[in-house]
Every structure is written in structure tokens, then in C-alpha cells.
Amino acid sequence: MANTKNPESTPIVEESTNSPEALFVKNKNAIIGAVIAIIVIIGGYFAYQELYQGPREEKAATTIAKGQDYFNEGQFDKALNGDGTGYQGFKSIASEYSGTPAGNLANNYAGLCCAQLEKWNEAVEYLEKFDTKDDNTISPAAVGALGNAYAHTNQLDKAVDCLKKAAKMADSNSLSPIWLIQAGEILESQGKKDEALKLYKEVKQKYFNSMQYQSIDKYIERATIK
């Protein structure tokens, strides 16, 4: 994703690049990238395995598959809005197949495309429409992506709630620590160091097999300083 930031949609950073706020802004795009990688893999499986529930869903699944190709190739505008040669775009699919698994998945992809294009308000709109269905695959990643979109639109309380929820839903060494640390950094930027400290300690106590465990002490130390 491009590093260009929209000053109207991202948290304001007034301190040095070593501040919690700066660290948070610097890490957001990398975390969205990890989320997208998981959704690309799982989303493809979901589209082919779960959407074949009749002629309408079969057509939707075929259409979504073309959008996934564009998405995987990094052609996010085409994936979102269509290519003008037959593929209608995730926006149109979400509308046309509203209330179906295809429409639901299209909302998720549309939100991720908007995030990649840094259209953060639209990303929030589509990701909010995605029904997570309480599964343990796409849902945690989608909730985490929504948390990132909230953060980019300066809805920091909602961002923290989503990131904590995503971590709990996933309960994995691969993504849960990332989301907990990101939520902690947002809390630090809000001056809520005690709440941030609890999340950092959760990473250390629960996710000791994660990559983030190796560096969690620096977060704990930073949040401990009053």
C-alpha cells in the first residue's frame, strides 16, 4: 500500500517519530497487509466452496473469482469498480447479491479494496456491512481490518474495540498479538497507558510462541513510564 496519508482521515501526529502515535501510524499499513494476505487465501476457498448453492450463487461465485484475480494482482480499482468488459466489481456484486453469501463476501472485498486505495470512509462502510458470522477464519481478519479502517478515520475507540475483538476471535500466535499491540499503541496515543499495559501483558502471558513475544518487553516498559 502507498505510504501517502490523507491528513483528514488519519490520527494527527504531533510528536517525534518515536512517539506511540508515530509508531501506530507507521505500523497500520503493514498490519492491513497481513490481514489482506489471510483474507485472500481464505476468501478464495470460501468463494469456491461455499457459494455454490444454486444458479444465482454459482454465477456470483464466478464473478467474485474474477474480482479476486484483480485483487491478487493489486488492481484494486478494477476489483472494486469493474473492468468495463464484463466484470462488474465488488461494489456492484455487494449490491446485486445483497443478503447472500456472495454479497456478504463482496462487502468484505470492497472494504479491503477501499482500504488499499486509501478511501477509508468507504472502507468502513463496506467492512461494517460484512457479516462476520462468528467463524474462526475470515471473521477475525475482517474485524481486524475494520479496526484499521476505524483508526484511519480517527474513530480510535471503535478501532480499539475491533482490534481487541479480532484478537479474541482469532486467539492465534500469528495475528492476535499484532492486533493487541496495535490496540495498545492507540490507547497509548490517547493517554490510556494502564489499559495499553494490560494488552501488552496479555501478549507476554498468552502468546509466548509469537514473534511479537520477543519484543513485547519494550512495549511494557514504555507503557509503565508515567
Which residues 6+ apart lie within 8 Å of 200 measured at CB? Answer: 180, 181, 184, 216, 219, 220, 223
* pLDDT for residue 9: 34
**Statement: residue 176 has pLDDT above 70:** yes
Question: Range with the lowest mean pLDDT among 11-25, 29-43, 55-69, 92-106?
Answer: 11-25
What whole-number distance in Å separates Cα of residue 88 and Cα of residue 2? 25
Look-up: residue for cell 455454490?
52
Task: Give the model confidence (pLDDT) of 108-134 as tens digits.
Answer: 999 999 988 989 999 999 999 998 875
The 8-class DSSP code of residue 86 comes to: S
3-state secondary structure of 68: helix
Task: Give the model confidence (pLDDT) of 197-219 as tens digits.
Answer: 999 999 999 999 999 999 999 99
H or E element in which residue 88 lies: none
* pLDDT for residue 226: 74
What whole-number distance in Å separates Cα of residue 122 and Cα of residue 94? 13
Q: What number of H helices and E strands is found in the chain?
A: 11, 0
Domain ranges of the chain: 20-224
pTM for the full predicted model: 0.78
CA distances from 155 to 61, 121, 164 (A): 33, 11, 15
CATH classification for the domain delimited by 20-224, as one of 1.10.287.130, 3.90.550.40, 1.25.40.10, 3.40.50.1970: 1.25.40.10
Task: Give the model confidence (pLDDT) of 48-74 as tens digits.
Answer: 445 445 566 677 777 888 898 999 899
Question: Range with the lowest mean pLDDT among 23-37, 81-95, 142-156?
Answer: 23-37
Alpha carbon of residue 57 to chain centroid: 26
